[in-house]
Structure 1
Amino acid sequence: MRTSLISTATLHNSPRSNLAEMQKRLSDATKEVSTGRHADVGLKLGDRTGRNVALRRDLGNLEAMITSNSLAKARISQTHTVLGSMGETMDAIQQNLTTYPDTNQTIRLLETQSKEGMQALIRTMNSTDGRVYLFGGINSSQPPMADYDGAPRTAVDNALIAKFGLSIPPQNDSAGLAAITPADMQDFIDNEFDALFQDPDWGTTWSSASDEAITSRISPDETVRTSITANTDATRRLAKALTMLGEFNMNALDPDTRKVVYENAITTLNSGLTETISERANLGHFEKRINVADERMHAAIDIVETRINAFETVDPVDAKVEVDQLTTQIEMSYSLTTQIMRLSIMKYA
């Protein structure tokens, strides 16, 4: 016959043997009730964890693209707005041109209006969304267009002086300006003056913008242009028309020569406005494509989230039942421990 000895310490510690494990299970179950997910997804899924990680990565990429698209849409919307405001300024100048101003007062008014229009054009091209310059293209860290009173004015003055032998500043040489014939003015506009708004002069005198616009990836398999640069034909033509109207001192020109300037300015301004309208239409098309891409990605997110939930989610009812059961077991364990602690072999001596 063999006798087994059971000490009071053994009886005292026995109910605690599984207590730590139950407390860990209770903590996990409580977490599952509050989050609706397995407490340790990797442990639960085992060799399926890689598939779940891949789904999480896909979900993150889709959500990041939607966030990026919201920034692109904000940039497009602001670009559309500032172009619209600038267009209204140009429309007013265009209206005043239809009557060919021929009095000192109306000519001066148009000249002032054109100079203000040039400033509006430069302000528009130098618009920023607080992070980048909207019309800088991929070179979006600095203002795209130079102040007219700097290099552009110098280039225009030098061209007038070189072509017609005018004094400095050429706008004040009334006699020299009055002597310019219509044919000579047309030749100047077509050649020396036009060259100021073409490359390479445009890039060295007027604009530091990149020819390459910002392109954004709007979905996993689609990219779209999401900006306009200050180097478009629209900007160059508007700048050219406004310079003619604001800097040639129309009052000093022969009436026939002045008419040549007006006709060229009208044609150039109309072309620039048409190009601007076209660019705004393109922006609307790009924004629509982004919206369509967002709709597709939201649908894809719903599918991915459904698949993730199939891996990660727990039945809330089962989780709550487990919490209740574990709580009861732990309470019973504490109760039993208390009762055992009251036992003493001395009571049975």
Structure 2
Amino acid sequence: MKTTGVSTSSICNGIEIFTRQINNDIIQLRKEVVTGQHADVGMQLGSRVSQFLELNQEKQRITGMLDSNNLAKIRLSTSQASLENIDRVYQSLLENTVILHEDSNKFTIDRIENLVKDSLRSLTDVSNMKSGSEYLFAGINTLEKPFQDYFAKDSPAKKSFDQLLDNFLKDNSKVQQLEVSSMTDHQMSEFIDKLEKAFFDNDYWMQNWSKASNQNIQHHFNDVESRDISTNVNMYGIRRLSLFSVIGIEFLGKDLKPESRSVLNKKMTSILGKGLEDLNHNRALLGMSEQRIDKEDVFLQNKKSIMEICIVKSVGVDHYKTSIKLDDLVNKVDIAYMITAKMRKLSFLNYL
């Protein structure tokens, strides 16, 4: 019987090469256990790799749309909360203005006049609120403060009212000098109607009260559908509350004729009622936009889930089988190291 000698060193080197290959396999298997996908997607899919890339790209696109929807909902939520604050101002004014029809003593008038001033200040603060670095009620003109402060020095809103009133008094002073306190009920009604017409004239409003854009920020759902996700101070609900506040501030404390005061009270109540309707209309529009985004989110989440299932089926691994295979390879490596260690101890020197 013929035997061939094999050196211990060559056997150890062979085991080392074998161990290195197994270690590479272990690294890949551990990666697959963590990611849940085959380490070499191209080898696994072969000719279907382009389909996998398309699925993955579509999933990323859907994720981007969901993120965009989330940002839109944050803006909507903040805007709706601000409109709710304006609604509370309206409700408070309505409750107190009704009292004027029954009680017009000086104490009541002074109290409501102060309430109107505070309400206009609140409206100004809310209208000029920011979300981050952007003004909420500025439309697309988000970097410019949208609403003029009526109480500020050299306020164009205040100056424009004074000019309108002075012109009206002069035009009606041809027979005798007309003052606010001597205005008849007809003249009071005529001036308030004229002022209301000015407030709803875009040129007058944009020149004296607003720096906001009429165009709101929009959220696009697809190539053909988009919804407003913001509003602006040019909406009628804010214009009417501003109008109400101005005539309340400028006329309530004046010594008016009883019939003129009656007209004033009726006009103020009417303006508040119409303004609250306008405000609720804008709140409803934003609410509809939010519902539309919620509906879109459900659709996109379902679509994303389907994409993820398809991707997992394409490149996913069986965690149980992969873990067993990984454990088996680790055991083989341990055995190889043990054999190598024992063989390195085999030496003639140990027997000398």
Task: Please report the TM-score for the alignment, with normalisation by the length of structure 1.
Answer: 0.85
Contact 1:22 1:330 in 2 (8 A): yes
Structure 1: unaligned runs, 5 residues or longer: 167-173
1-structure distance, mates of 2:178, 2:92: 31
1:1-349 equivalences in 2 (<5 Å): 9-98=9-98, 99-100=100-101, 101-149=103-151, 150-165=155-170, 176-191=179-194, 194-218=197-221, 222-343=225-346
Q: What is the CA-CA distance between 1:193 and the residue it aligns to?
A: 5.6
Change (3 A) 1:290 1:72: same
Shift of 1:49: 2.7
SS of corresponding position for 1:216: strand
Aligned residues of 1:152 and 1:206 also touching (Cα < 8 A) = yes
Deviation at 1:314, TM superposition (A): 0.4
Is the Cα–Cα contact under 8 Å of residues 86 and 123 in structure 2 kept in the other structure?
yes
Contact in 2 for aligned 1:137/1:210 (Cα 8 Å): yes
Asked if the contact 2:120–2:242 (Cα under 8 Å) also holds between the matched residues in 1, the reply is yes
Cα separation, 1, equivalents of 2:88 and 2:320: 64
How far apart are 1:330 and its partner, in Å?
Answer: 2.0
- 1:170 is matched with none
2:20 aligned counterpart, secondary structure: helix
Shift of 1:64: 2.7
Which structure 2 residue ranges, 5 or more long, are not aligned?
172-176
Offset, 1:63: 2.4
Deviations 1:131-179 (A, max 9, x none): 532222212233321111222112111221232149xxxxxxx982223
Q: Give, in whole Å, the separation in 2 of the partners of 1:131 and 1:313.
A: 44
CA contact (8 A) 1:156 1:193 kept: no
Whether contact under 8 Å (1:45, 1:311) holds in the other structure is yes
Cα offset, 1:102, TM superposition: 3.0
1:289 Cα deviation (Å)? 1.6
The 1:50/1:221 distance shift into structure 2, 3 A limit, reads farther
Matched residues, number: 339
Contact 1:180/1:253 (8 A) holds in 2: yes
Amino acid at match of 1:48: R
Shift of 1:221: 7.1
Q: State the SS of the aligned residue for 2:134.
A: coil
Per-residue deviation, 1:218: 4.6
One-letter code aligned to 1:108: D
Cα distance in structure 2, aligned partners of 1:233 and 1:13 = 87
| TM-score of the superposed pair, with normalisation by structure 2 | 0.84
Q: Answer yes or no: is the 8 Å Cα contact 2:129–2:136 preserved in 1.
A: yes
**Alpha-carbon RMSD:** 3.0
Percentage of identical aligned residues: 28
